[in-house]
Amino acid sequence: MTARVDGPDKVTGRARYAVEHPADGAAYVWAVPSVIARGTIRSVDASRALALPGVLAVITPDNAPRLPGTGDPELALFQTRAVAYRGQFAAAVVAGTLEAAREAAGRVVIEYEQAAHDVTLTASHPGLYKPDFVNPRYETDTAVGDFDGAFAAAAVRVDATYRTPAEHNHPMEPHATVAVWHAGTLTVYDATQGPSRAAGQIAAVFGLEPGQVRVIAEHVGGGFGAKGMPRANVILAAMAARVTGRPVKFAVTRPQMFAVTGHRAPSIQRVRLGAGPDGRLTAVCHDVIDQTSTLKEFTEQSAVATRHMYAAPHRRTTHRVVRLDVPTPSWMRAPGECPGMFALESAMDELAAACGIDPVELRLRNEPAVHPETGQPFSSRHLAACLREGAARFGWAGRDPAPGVRREGRWLAGTGVAASTYPARAMPSQARVTVSPSGRYQVSIAAADIGTGARTALLAVAAEALGVPAAAIDLRIGDSALPPAMIAGGSMGTASWTWAVIKACGALRDQVRARDGAVPPGGLTAYADTAADIGALPAHARYAFGAQFAEVQVDADTGEVRVPRLLGVFAAGRIVSPAQARSQLIGGMTMGQSMALHEESAMDPQFGDYPNHDLAGYHIAAHADVQDIDAVWIDEKEPELGPAGAKGIGEVGIVGTAAAIAGAVCHATRIRVRDLPIRLDKLLRQSHDPDDSAVHPAAGRDRQIRL
């Protein structure tokens, strides 16, 4: 096991996160969020705030510097008086101390012209429409064959509607920025997943050339997608620094993160499966209903995994979205696949019960030879191997499929399984490698380590590619001044960055070899860009897969759910850094358990925002919730995705966990919870979901936790 190279810095506090960067004479920002969900800012009275000692400025729509780039309305801070959602920043105070800024923020008086708001997603909302595409740029709808005919004719049918709530990413480190202007150039220390992309986007907002903005993200305390793009905090810090002529620090508060830093939108998903008595699917349909804000269209691609998971000649997927007066949804770990696979994999579990077929066997029977919609070959696909390996390790053989028959004292016991998948991709990146005459190497790439262990993985890969010990290499990442690279997102970081690094290391070795090993006094430098390599990839289907197995215990009296065992088996190409990979995977599974049992941003229709907006009200799985959890992987050769053959593991770990747990809860209790999270009140209610559609009798009718 390779120890995490930044471990000592982190545990001793030497590692600096964005807002911890020292800045002489720094001023501090406190934002003033809007208290209406829709309407207009009529006036801002800053006089009582400005009267406080230490207050430097109050920035409002009246006096904010005009921003040349307003293409992203979430970043066009204070450029209009319109309010699009509750919690949107309406004004901000800049002061010499954080305390003064906070106190003054409470004295800013804003008069609003309030309009009626609509924050409630329903399956029959009149505003639902078909977007041109869904994230990141998938087709909105797909259809192959005759789904309706095949479904009507199927011997066994499942027709069920699943719901997932709004969820927030909540990295431990909030979104935070230190902004410093030097004449016309801007340097920001920012909590971001991608310094290169952020620099370009920030430059566009301020009307600067990309080279005039430098983004430094040395250590980042998690992101899970929320830090994949610059947020209001960067723009506000930079604006405040410009207004006051001082460096400015700004950290978004935890409650503010519920509004301005993105979240996973709630979903309503209808899944219909038609199969023969042998469980072979003939018809698959997945219809997704989603919401976005009035500011931006962001449609989660929740039906896309259904396009490649299982063979069936007749199939359809659709996405519809409605614009509501809510905060803008955004990327959250396995966007699309995570909520979508909760629905599909729950439906597969319901089909297994309806057919009387073991749920592992059901999935094996429906393995496609090629992508079932496009006909493209898979570059590598080992879902079946994951299911078999997982079943063997978990002790699945001999499982009694009967639901609600195992009880020890107060505890009802059950097990569940679900498949997992996530696209395997890489994006163009560049890297530079130098060697000095003394034999020291420097590897530079604008990658970001958001807590994943990217430093450790890249160092290991570079050492192998150069054929030198890792101790001979200085790795530089986390700075947009370095060769531009893909963000740490979409599970693409490792594949994208290792591709560029290995290519540059190979080029440097060629140079050294051509000189018979003699390094000139000025050293040697090699540069690599993978854009052409990635552009030349064959049009194949590339995905990581996995199988998740869960054991649950449900308290028959209280409905409390415990998860004594969680096992994930993954096929994700080469695992370049095993210790870090295991952490990532069990982290994803923990987040999946959290999604299954706890996470829910509750929308208050009256006020139009999330009242449980802190980590006391927004529940997440804590250490005591996670018991025997393990992630393993099978040996998989991925021949196409770059020289490391790594498929990426940041997101596949969360996919399917919630369905495995929901299936296990149903196996334990006979109660099929189709709307996450599986709160105990849903288990104690006799009939928890009046409008859901009936499926097989075992899970559909007898909804009593007491046996």
Q: Nearest residue by C-beta to ligand MOS?
A: 225
Q: How far is the CB of 343 from ligand MOS (least distance, A)?
A: 18
The yes-or-no answer on residue 651 being catalytic is yes
C-alpha closest to that of 535 among 422, 427, 647, 643: 427
Burial of 189 (0-12, 13-18, 19+ CB in 10 A): buried
Q: How far is the CB of 320 from ligand MOS (least distance, A)?
A: 22
Asked if residues 599 and 618 have their Cβ atoms less than 8 Å apart, the reply is yes
- Mapped onto helix, strand or coil, the DSSP state of residue 28 is strand
Spatial separation of the C-alpha atoms in residues 366 and 356, rounded to whole Å: 15
Q: How far is the CB of 651 from ligand MOS (least distance, A)?
A: 6
Asked if residues 376 and 353 have their Cβ atoms less than 8 Å apart, the reply is no
Spatial separation of the C-alpha atoms in residues 244 and 238, rounded to whole Å: 10
Burial of 132 (0-12, 13-18, 19+ CB in 10 A): exposed
Asked if residues 58 and 50 have their Cβ atoms less than 8 Å apart, the reply is yes
Q: How far is the CB of 538 from ligand MOS (least distance, A)?
A: 24
C-alpha closest to that of 636 among 646, 628, 627: 646
- Mapped onto helix, strand or coil, the DSSP state of residue 514 is helix
Spatial separation of the C-alpha atoms in residues 30 and 231, rounded to whole Å: 15
Q: How far is the CB of 122 from ligand MOS (least distance, A)?
A: 26
Asked if residues 318 and 111 have their Cβ atoms less than 8 Å apart, the reply is no
Spatial separation of the C-alpha atoms in residues 220 and 157, rounded to whole Å: 47
Q: Please name the helix (run of DSSP H) or strand (run of DSSP E) that holds residue 421, with its range, or none.
A: strand 411-423
Where on the chain is the footprint of ligand MOS (CB under 6 A)? 193, 223-225, 228, 331-333, 335, 489-490, 651
- To 5 degrees, how large is the angle CA 649–CA 340–CA 451? 30
Nearer to ligand MOS, 263 or 667 (CB): 263
Asked if residues 570 and 619 have their Cβ atoms less than 8 Å apart, the reply is no
Helix crossing, 232-244 with 195-206: angle to 10°? 50
Amino acid at 239: M
Per-residue burial over 246-267, b if 16 or more Cβ lie within 10 Å, else e, is bbbbbbbeeebbbbbbbbbbbb
| DSSP one-letter code for 142 | E
Strands of 457-516 (E only): list them. Answer: 473-476
For 218, 311, 601, 639, the CA distances from 375, given in Å and listed in that order, are 43, 11, 39, 19
Q: 167, 599, 600, 651: which one is catalytic?
A: 651
Spatial separation of the C-alpha atoms in residues 522 and 437, rounded to whole Å: 8
- To 5 degrees, how large is the angle CA 557–CA 559–CA 563? 125
Q: How far is the CB of 427 from ligand MOS (least distance, A)?
A: 11
Contacts of 513 (CB under 8 A, 6+ apart): none
Burial of 464 (0-12, 13-18, 19+ CB in 10 A): middle
**Roughly how many angstroms between the first and final C-alpha of the chain, as a whole number?**
47
For 120, 127, 322, 325, the CA distances from 124, given in Å and listed in that order, are 11, 9, 10, 17
How much of the chain is in helix, strand and coil states, percent to nearest 5? 25, 25, 45
Nearer to ligand MOS, 193 or 593 (CB): 193
182: number of Cβ within 10 Å: 9
629's tokens: 């959890």
Asked if residues 319 and 141 have their Cβ atoms less than 8 Å apart, the reply is yes
Q: How far is the CB of 450 from ligand MOS (least distance, A)?
A: 8
Asked if residues 505 and 465 have their Cβ atoms less than 8 Å apart, the reply is yes
Active site residues: 651
